[in-house]
Amino acid sequence: MVIINQTRRNEGKVVQLGKYELGKTLGEGNFGKVKLARGTDCGQFFAVKIHPFTNIKSNLYN
């Protein structure tokens, strides 16, 4: 799991996150977004679920 402290709002653009390139949003719900990602080292595509940091933080203390 990777926790990112900075929120990026680049809808429609590719964002580099470590060895992955995050692309378009595939879905969105109460617990976060699912984005299309491509591994830059292997070229395979993945679905990555991104949880808002506020949800993670509140769940840690419950």
Annotated binding site for ATP: 49
Question: Could you tell me if residue 35 is left (phi over 0), alpha (psi between -120 and 50 degrees) or otherwise beta?
Answer: beta
Q: Where is the binding site, in residues?
A: 49
Q: Is the dihedral of CA 16, 21, 25, 29 positive or negative?
A: negative
